[in-house]
Amino acid sequence: MNASVSDAVQRVYNFSAGPAVLPLPVLEQVQRDLIALPGVGSSILEISHRSPEFIDIANDAKARIVNLLSIPDTHDVLFLQGGSRLQFSMIPMNLLEEEKSADYILTGSWGKSAKAEAVKEGNVQIAWDGADCKYNRLPKQSELKLDPSASYVHLTSNETIEGVQFLHEIESGDVPVVVDCSSDIFCRPLPVDQYGVIYACAQKNAGPAGVTMVIIRKDLLARGDAELPGYLLYRNHAEADSMWNTPPTFAIYVMGLVAKWLQEEIGGLAAMEKLNREKSSLLYDVIDSNADFYVGHAETDSRSIMNVTFRLPNADVEKKFFKSAEELNLTNLKGHRSVGGVRASVYNAMPIAGVRALADFMQQFAADNK
């Protein structure tokens, strides 16, 4: 592996679901800037959020994100804090209108968590719930029970725990679609104009923990009640250009570097999607060719290209799998504590060499342990 960060440090292949792997060129840039930004003389950790230097950094990050996602002028980009869990509350607080309901599509654990917070704020209808199939597939459009008068419809684009992912858009008529893209933002081109709100905490696929990006259609900013606590009102953040309070400066800076890496080294989101599909296919091919040993959780047409989830014949074999993988520097492969099993998170920054190493290990492990 590339040892340019430090000859004394051996980097493992980190398949963590989040905080997750970051691009090595980004880490190297951070390392160079951490003591003092060029021409500034202070660390990125030290400069004021009101300084011209940081305003340039924030504006550059925003401009790169707008370029990557082809965000139209109808939408604004906000840099907030509190993670996606705060968005689970801010969405209904700002968008759920009186005497109306919100539709929620439940495709896994994070969708259920979003719904659990929304019901505290108003009326919620379940448009589809995959509980009966143990959240191993996505709904067909014809299965969605959508209210044409709903304030919005909410979905989770990628369920990290179950390993199912929307790689297409749903049809909702005139009802705004709100999507939690926390684990797959930047993994593919996204038709932003088809969404009312896109939100994503950074620590899975866009940067370090600490910043949450919200892309919101500007007309929806008017819905928020001025009686809400100030931080919870999207309109305040939009009017203050994400500086209503001190923003997470370091996390925004790194997110900007990730966006630059996607633009200049990957070649944009279409190229990133192609690479992501190639990476995930390496693992799914091993699972499918060893169906008597590896059991994938998600149905084939619902599989995530970010989080590959599967099980082995029994708990003892799984323990051996994790131990053997660790010995090869293939780390953080345990499934979420709520479901167990194996989960390989192959986010944008996971190099294909790491995925090949895991696929080769899986193939050999199956041959040795059947």
List, for residues 70-112, the tens digit of each pLDDT value: 999 999 999 999 999 999 999 999 999 999 999 999 999 999 9
Rounded mean pLDDT, 250-276: 98
Task: Classify domain 29-265 by CATH number.
Answer: 3.40.640.10
Q: Look at residue 238 in the predicted model and tell me its pLDDT.
A: 98
**What is the identity of the amino acid at 240?**
A
CATH topology (fold) of 268-369: Aspartate Aminotransferase, domain 1 (3.90.1150)
- What are the binding residues? 50, 110, 160, 180, 203, 245-246
Q: Look at residue 50 in the predicted model and tell me its pLDDT.
A: 94
126-152 pLDDT, tens digit each? 999 999 999 999 999 999 999 999 999
Mean of the per-residue pLDDT values of the chain = 96
What the block records as the tokens of 235 is 């309109």
CA dihedral of 176, 256, 209, 180, whole degrees rounded to 10: 10
- What are the binding residues for pyridoxal 5'-phosphate? 110, 160, 180, 203, 245-246
Domain locations along the chain: 29-265, 268-369
Pairing of strands 123-129, 101-106: parallel
Whole-number percent of the chain with pLDDT over 70: 98
Higher pLDDT, 2 or 325: 325
Active site residues: 110, 180, 204
- What are the binding residues for L-glutamate? 50
214-260 pLDDT, tens digit each? 999 999 999 999 999 999 999 999 999 999 999 999 999 999 999 99
